Chain A
Amino acid sequence: MTDISSGSVPLTTNEKVQASLGRRRRKQFILQGLGIGAISIAFLMLFILLWSQIATGYKAFMQTNITLEIFIDPEEVPTERLPRGNFDDVLAAALVANLPGVDASDRAALRSASGILSNGAQFDLRDRIVENPALIGQTITMRMPVSDPYDQLYKELLDRETPENLRRLDDAQIANYDHLVEIGAIGSRINTGLITNADSRFPELAGLKGALMGSFWALLTCFLIAFPLGIGAAVYLEEFAPKNKLSDFIEVNINNLAAVPSVVFGLLALSVFIGWFGLPRSVPFVGGLTLALMTMPTIIIATRAALKAVPPSIREAALGVGASRQQVVFGHVVPLAMPGILTGTIIGLAQALGETAPLLLIGMNAFITSAPGTPFDSATALPTQIFIWADSPERGFVSRTSAAILVLLTFLIMMNAIAIYLRSKFERKW
């Protein structure tokens, strides 16, 4: 401050601080800028992800339908032969009745025209008639999904300008379609089949029911196993285990377990549950066991953190009035830690819901056309269903894959929202 020998005017403390202020402000400005930049990039990525899935997926939430007046010809569908009958001929006849341009005696033209009907339509009709055989001989109105190429045409995903030989529908088929649109037989409805149907080779009939039920059974199994075991292990390690080398070793390994790639758990499940124990392949129960192995470390770590966060004063208070260790833990500490434990569990389950690799290894990517009624029926799960659909060549599966991704994301967001809600609702101020 008093450097007189140099001859310069000595700076006061205030001036020195002033000089450094600009530099400090600049640093803070840069840091804030970087932070905002990072967040912007993260949001942009999230937006691109959601946008790309919504843009392709939204079309799968609508399904093009055809409504026909169908005469149930007793010649084709005799009552005594039910459930057998020429339902496809009945449908074709009903269709051709609406198409003056098609000669009903020309087999090739007839086959080409009736391609608009989904392969599943005859089975829907059969089920309806088997349920009520009195319909035979009557004319009924029925709405059914159109097959995939026509669905694509309605959604303008099929380009009419493409040369005929490269198109999936020829000019005659498109003319028939246009006629049907004109007479109001074709319309579009919300695609409830996406949720209520199980998987199918035909995109217009494929739905997520099997995958949703499969995921539900797998997660239920996972929860019922991982939750009690995880809490038990965490409570023992945190509250009762002696602090020694062995418990340190176990702790380190639990943390490592949480970082093991999921495909390894899949291989383990394949060799242990399916190989040794002889449990069936492709069933949600085995999927749940596998996911439980993966979720348990997450639950243990979250539970231990929640138990640690309970203030020691509460333990002392309970011990002080003469509670035993077990009464302290289960009467006070665990209930107070419950919000944290539940949050960790839900986040663990959300991870399990999105896990694909281990399920592929235990065969939960099979093609299964019925929804599982129990955890021991073959099934797929949501992420493996997405995997299967993404792998399918039919155009209709492109939008369905995105739609399935949106359904999966919806469930994940819902689970995380529940976790956040629980955390804020039960959060305590000490």
Chain B
Amino acid sequence: MDDLRAINNDVESNATKISAKNVQVYYGDTHAIKDVNVEIKEHTVTAFIGPSGCGKSTFLRSINRMNDTIDICRVEGDIRIDGQDIYDRNIDPVQLRARVGMVFQKPNPFPKSIYDNIAYGPKIHGLAKTKADMDEIVEKSLRRGAIWNEVKDRLHAPGTGLSGGQQQRLCIARAIATEPDVLLMDEPCSALDPIATSQVEELIDQLRESYTVVIVTHSMQQAARVSQKTAFFHLGSLVEYGTTDDIFTNPKDSRTESYISGRIG
């Protein structure tokens, strides 16, 4: 697995960005997430891996309170970003989601122009005062989303007309247009072909400089390629959490080892 490590990362020195303590998530009577404790470091790509239905996406969605939109879903425990409890009464989920961007499994651009896709977030949050400000935000976001060169000549063409990989990078650019601290990605490459996947992975690595990235992935190779820290979930529990190197080369738990070597999953 050493050959998959493109970059050597010393992440242990980074400060903690997101800390979860005793987090429980229930869907009705189903106990989907059981007692998860995790500390996610700043400017790090953290991968959540695990077999289907293990709760990794559920946990990811409780970090920006997307689970609030599901009536029967209930979150208990303590999730803090920069020390602030995000389930506190005083926290508006709308405000939280401006700080915690999210990229979804299937590219989901709005059926609007590329420009409007990026401008939507800044517009509703009032981040740009003038048209020039907005143009600047759009260009900056598209550049960071590594898609500027491909779309700069057709900013007013519909976003849905782009290819799958371009759409996903557009969605990443849209998520970072509101200047979030944290970027959550729920299997961002599962609907993409290998070339688009490698472009998105490259982008994720660049994003680490400015954001804290949490990525859910089904592909262990992808986790190994892009992340510095990895968390392995199984049946709603966090089984093991550590540097990606350690998880892949020297797993402590037998379940982690079984999953990594392909025996469960």
Contact = CB atoms under 8 A, between A and B. Distances in A.
B94 A320 contact: no
A428 B96 CA distance: 32
B69 A322 contact: no
Residue in A319, A322, A324, A327 whose Cβ sees the most chain B Cβ within 10 Å: A322
B64 interface: yes
A313 B106 contact: yes
Contact of B104 (A320, A322, A323, A331): A320
Interface in A118-162: none
B66 interface: yes
Contact of A322 (B95, B106, B171): B95
B33 interface: no
Contacts of B103: 320
A214 B125 CA distance: 49
B101 interface: yes
Interface in B73-130: 94-98, 101-104, 106, 108-111, 120-121, 124-125
A336 B103 CA distance: 21
B71 interface: yes
Contact of B109 (A317, A324, A327, A336): A317
Interface in A277-317: 311, 313-317
Interface string A224-265: 000000000000000000110000000000000000000000
A322 B109 contact: no
A190 to B, nearest CB: 48
A316 B66 contact: yes
B175 interface: yes
Contacts of B111: 314, 336, 428
Contacts of A311: 108
Contacts of B102: 316, 320
A248 to B, nearest CB: 13
Contact of A319 (B66, B109, B174, B178): B66
A180 interface: no
Contacts of A321: 97-98, 101, 120-121, 124, 174-175, 177-178
B65 to A, nearest CB: 9
A316 B94 contact: no
Contact of B110 (A242, A243, A318, A327): A318
A317 to B, nearest CB: 4
Contacts of B64: 320
Contacts of B101: 320-321
A314 B117 CA distance: 11
A179 interface: no
B71 A322 contact: no
A241 B26 CA distance: 22
Given A242-B71, A322-B98, A316 B178 contact: no
Contacts of B171: 317
Which applies to chain A's interface (DSSP): helix, strand, loop or mixed? helix
B108 A327 contact: no
B184 to A, nearest CB: 9
Nearest to B65: A319
Given A321-B101, A322-B97, A324-B94, A313 B178 contact: no
Contacts of B95: 322
A315 B102 CA distance: 13
Contact of A243 (B71, B106, B121, B177): B71
A332 interface: yes
Nearest to B95: A322
Interface string B141-175: 00000000000000000000000000000010011
A313 B97 contact: no
Given A313-B104, A336-B111, A320 B71 contact: no
Contacts of A320: 64, 66, 97, 101-104, 175
Nearest to B72: A243
Contacts of A322: 94-98, 121, 124-125, 178
Nearest to A316: B104
Contact of B94 (A317, A323, A336): A323
A311 B178 CA distance: 24
A57 B190 CA distance: 64
A320 to B, nearest CB: 4
Contacts of A317: 104, 108-110, 171, 174
Nearest to A321: B121
Given A319-B66, A320-B66, A322-B124, A313 B94 contact: no
Interface in A319-356: 319-324, 327, 331-332, 336
Interface in A154-194: none
Contacts of B96: 322
Interface in A66-104: none
A67 B97 CA distance: 81
A331 B101 CA distance: 19
A73 B96 CA distance: 91
Contacts of B177: 321
Contacts of B104: 313, 316-317, 320
A319 B174 CA distance: 12
Contacts of A319: 66, 69, 97
Interface in B228-259: none
B101 to A, nearest CB: 7
Nearest to A325: B69
Given A318-B120, A320-B101, 20 more contacts: A242-B71, A311-B108, A313-B104, A313-B106, A313-B108, A316-B102, A316-B108, A317-B110, A319-B66, A320-B64, A320-B97, A321-B97, A321-B174, A322-B95, A323-B94, A323-B120, A323-B121, A324-B124, A327-B124, A428-B111
Interface of B: 64, 66, 69, 71, 94-98, 101-104, 106, 108-111, 120-121, 124-125, 171, 174-175, 177-178
10 contacts: A316-B104, A319-B97, A320-B66, A320-B97, A320-B104, A321-B121, A321-B175, A322-B95, A322-B121, A331-B124
**Nearest 9 pairs between A and B by C-beta?**
A321-B121, A322-B98, A313-B108, A320-B102, A322-B97, A317-B108, A324-B94, A322-B94, A323-B124
